[in-house]
Amino acid sequence: MPLRGKSRLRQNALAAFLHAIPLALVLATPSTASGQQRAATPSGIAPNAAACHDPAGWNIACLRARYSGPAAGWPAPTIDAGVQWHEWAPVPPVADPPMQWTAANPGQAELAADVARPPVVALGQMLFFDTRLSRKGQISCASCHQPQRAFTDGLPLAVGEDKLMGRRRSTPLYAAPFAPRLFWDGRAASLKEQVMGPLHDPREMNHDAAGAVARLRETDIYPARFLDAFGGATAASSPATGSASSTVAPASSAAGSTASASASASASASASASASAAMIPTAQAPAASTTASAIDADRLARALAAYVASLRPEKTRFDEFLAGRADALDDNELLGLHLFRTQARCMNCHNGPLLTDHQFHNIGLSFYGRRNQDLGRYEATRDPADLGRFRTPSLRNVAQAGPWMHNGLFPDLRGLLRMYNAGMGRDAPPADPPDPYAPRKSEHIKPLDLSPAEIDALLAFLKTL
């Protein structure tokens, strides 16, 4: 079976990666008994929170007092010099003016207008769950972006039409409308460009805009829905692809975000949207020639982008804590929150409302010169500064979104945290002459010296996101 072969491939990749880690770092534990805290105050503790740790361990009552008020009064996070970070905050709701929260990408005004129009978003929702967008009708956008899995698919690598496997994991979708660049390697400059990438990718939907538009024009449902969402045909539209065929660039990997309702409600969106479409009275529908001409590639991309922009993470106890409910997190989760912000150094990259800086970093997973080599953003820019860098994903609903990393290398969050604790992998050894293409790990990635109990607390906190 293909999945068994894939499992062996991932095991071999993980074994190769582990081989590059100093064994002493992976096995290192504090000198005290397992589960007990160190006597010395960890160096990563923010100065104004040092009193919460003493020789007996962490003083939870002290931490609760420090985190009892608004975030502006919390202990300062551990941030490296030169890092621009943003405090945690609620994710902007869709009801807020879209120009205030959509990324300043090409076409921002158009996206902001579309996401504020319910007929456009509803059309995009129908298309997102419709397998007719793939050449053989085997998969939809939702095949790789399942609402119940935080709009990922639970697989290490994306699997497309005819069971062809891609190079990377399906991209989490929560941060898509807020991101300056999209895909793991940032090759898409806008959400409208990103949503069309999988349609063209031979390892995903294996289709093209002209074929998808022609198929949608032949249906009973879509012509009237496009007309309702966008009005009549655009003057510049060609018979099949429409005016946007030159602006929607082919690209691979998937697009997205998370549900504006709940994830469970989004899971049934395809059926409900199709049912509502079927209720449109035939007698009120315009002439077939008019309705069919309302469909083009540009509008297809706009509808999908609008739906993705409307998606939001499920509300969690973390949101309740941000809203001021101090007892929303238990003691272990609160300790994990504090460690996340201080000793674990996570806030250098995972900050702001979506817990992402929307930047690109090399954490040592490029497998340079080996079978599973992936040089990340460098493959899109050919800029040596981008070697091995990948986009920081949002951590919203992260516990539902495994396996983790761009290559799905880690099936277990605790194992992933242990690797961060060890400082991830080592850089390639120096070469003579120097290798200009050897990726260099980000300076933000360092050994963390977390105890097993602290790793457990950090894991407990991640599960509240």
CA–CA separation, 287 and 279 (whole Å):
17
The number of CA neighbours under 13 Å toward the Cβ of 189 is 7
Checking if the pLDDT of 42 tops 50, the result is no
**What is the value of pTM for the model shown?**
0.81
Q: Average pLDDT in the 232-245 region?
A: 49
Alpha helices (H) in 342-436, listed in sequence order: 378-381, 413-421
Q: What is the pLDDT of residue 407?
A: 95
Q: What DSSP line would sit under 209-230, residue for residue?
A: HHHHHHHHHTSSSHHHHHHHHH
Identify the pLDDT of residue 428.
Answer: 76
Q: For residues 32 and 40, give the distance between their C-alpha atoms in angstroms, rounded to a whole number.
A: 11
Question: How many CB atoms within 10 Å of residue 416?
Answer: 19
Model confidence pLDDT, tens digit, residues 177-191: 999 999 999 999 999
Mean pLDDT of 83-94: 97
**Residue 45 pLDDT > 70, yes or no?**
no
* Pairing state between β 53-54 and 390-391: unpaired
DSSP 228-256: HHH-S--TT--SSS-TTTTTS----S---
Residue 118, classed as helix, strand or coil, is helix
CA distances (Å), 213 to each of 144, 208, 238, 321, in order? 21, 9, 11, 46
pLDDT value at position 240? 43
Instruction: Say how many residues make up the chain.
Output: 465
pLDDT exceeds cutoff 70 at 17: no
Q: What's the token pair of residue 16? A: 């190769």
**pLDDT greater than 90 at residue 333:** yes
pLDDT per position as a tens digit, 273-329: 443 333 333 334 445 556 678 999 999 999 999 999 999 999 999 999 999 999 999
Q: Are 390 and 184 in contact (CB under 8 A)?
A: yes
Predicted pLDDT at 343: 95
In whole numbers, what is the pLDDT of the chain averaged over residues? Answer: 83
CB 338 within 8 A of CB 146: no
